[in-house]
Amino acid sequence: MTTLPGYRSNRIIELMAEPAQFRGVDWLKDSLQQALLLELATLPPYLCGMWSIDTTSGGTQVRDTIRVIVFDEMSHLGLACNLLTTIGGTPRLADETLVPAYPGPLPGGVRPELTVFLSGLTKDSVRMYACIEEPDDPVTEAIPAGFTSIGAFYTAILDAFRANPQLITGRRQVERDMAHHGSGNSLAALNTLGDVESAIAVIKEQGEGTSASPQNPHPAVQGELAHYYAFLEILHGKKLERHPDHPDKWDFTGVAVPWPTTLPMGVVPKQGWPRTGPDAPDPEVKALLDKFNRVYSDMLGFLEQAWQQDDPNQATDLLEDAVRKMRALRSPARDLMKRALPDGSGKNYGPEFRYVAS
């Protein structure tokens, strides 16, 4: 099997530097593999934040906002896989050199100033979420612009598809009706350039909004904001509204967005929680950590296999297996978030999202 650049590489920066005339099928396959790793990289931090919210003491508004974003990102991962297979590529997910580890950079060198970490919901974590989703030209200037955005990378991918529409074959497309999660969230077969344009528009606009509005053009409910602005509402503690005298301007002047009560999950250290030494977990915590990592790894394996099938029914079955594994992650994660770290910090454990080979 071909060795691919790991997530800690600068491969996206290198791909963006290649002249347009050289952006053919090999460039697209390489870029789309990096794109699906980018989509995967967003899920663990968002899930940790969402799972840490104690909804018995309120907090459902913020929990529901992040939950919508998580479902969007799952759809984006599936669409990125369909974009890769429609040009004859094969997604790779179940590989410890490819799966993002935390704390660490986003895959490929996107926003190199940003360190992505796993923790419970905090002001720092929400600020980090917003930095991940930040557009090149935000409607509201809240966080300094970075180096290379996810949206700019997808724009380059779309340009390459438009220059090479003959590469679109409709091969190994996995479909799933998820319209109940939003108008753009279903996994659709990408058989034409129009299909590809629609898929990339969903990925970009759900995350960044448009140049004219912070609203998500593909919402689950009317008025839903793109991810970047939804995270900023949580950070500011206020809803984003149009300026009454300047309809093209938006500001955080709406009703309050209360900060939720959370379980105090600490920041997962490099290479995960220590397994030996004075800070080693007790056997029950170790079993939870290992269980979570095993289920997460199985989920990635099922996802990878789903896009390797020529039989659509087999692909659907494997995707369902992956979804079941995804749902099974919450219980051990929440159990870990209720177990105190042995260092006296007042913080708790949480999931590591480490890939372990079978």
Q: pLDDT of 53-82, one tens digit each?
A: 998 877 799 999 999 999 999 999 999 999
Is 304 within a domain? no
Provide mean pLDDT across the span 301-310: 96
Is 356 within a domain? no
User: Any residues with CB less than 8 A from the CB of 313 and at least 6 apart, and which?
Assistant: none
Is 54 within a domain? yes
Q: How far apart are CA 344 and CA 208, in angstroms?
A: 40
pLDDT attached to residue 2: 61
pLDDT tens-digit readout, 260-292: 999 999 999 999 999 988 889 999 999 999 999
Mean pLDDT of the chain: 90
On the CB side of 208, how many CA atoms lie within 13 Å of its CA?
Answer: 25
3-state secondary structure of 346: coil
Question: What CATH number should be reported for the domain holding residue 182?
Answer: 1.20.1260.10
Is 283 within a domain? no
pLDDT at 140 over 50: no
Supply 103's token pair.
Answer: 């704390």
pLDDT attached to residue 209: 62
pLDDT at 145 over 50: no
pLDDT tens-digit readout, 98-127: 999 999 999 998 888 899 999 999 999 999
Q: Which pLDDT band holds residue 162 (cuts at 50, 70, 90)?
A: very high
pLDDT tens-digit readout, 33-48: 999 999 999 999 999 9
C-beta neighbour count of 212 within 10 angstroms: 8
Is 346 within a domain? no
Supply 159's token pair.
Answer: 């340009």
Q: How far apart are CA 116 and CA 14, in angstroms?
A: 21
- For residue 215, the cross-strand partners are 225
Q: How far apart are CA 119 and CA 268, in angstroms?
A: 7
Q: How many residues does the chain have?
A: 358
Q: How far apart are CA 268 and CA 12, in angstroms?
A: 26
On the CB side of 244, how many CA atoms lie within 13 Å of its CA?
Answer: 2
CA atoms 120, 208, 159, 110: torsion sign: negative
Amino acid at residue number 244: P
C-beta neighbour count of 255 within 10 angstroms: 8
Which residue bears the tokens 């609203």?
A: 215
C-beta neighbour count of 310 within 10 angstroms: 8
Q: Which helix (H) or strand (E) holds 251?
A: strand 246-251
Look up residue 343 and give its DSSP letter. T
Is 177 within a domain? yes
Look up residue 139 and give its DSSP letter. S
- The alpha carbon torsion through 84, 90, 91, 94 (nearest 10 deg) reads 180
Q: Which pLDDT band holds residue 3 (cuts at 50, 70, 90)?
A: low
Q: How far apart are CA 114 and CA 140, in angstroms?
A: 20
User: Any residues with CB less than 8 A from the CB of 112 and at least 6 apart, and which?
Assistant: 10, 13, 105, 146, 147, 148
3-state secondary structure of 340: strand
C-beta neighbour count of 78 within 10 angstroms: 27
Provide mean pLDDT across the span 163-176: 96
Question: What beta strand segments (E) does 202-243 contain?
Answer: 241-243
Is 329 within a domain? no
Structural domain span for residue 193: 11-263
Is 285 within a domain? no
pLDDT attached to residue 246: 74
Supply 34's token pair.
Answer: 């990096």
- Residue 37 in contact with residue 71, Cβ under 8 Å? no
pTM for the model: 0.92
When divided into structural domains, the chain yields a total of 1
Which residue bears the tokens 């974003």?
A: 69
Q: Give me the percent of the chain exceeding a pLDDT of 70.
A: 92
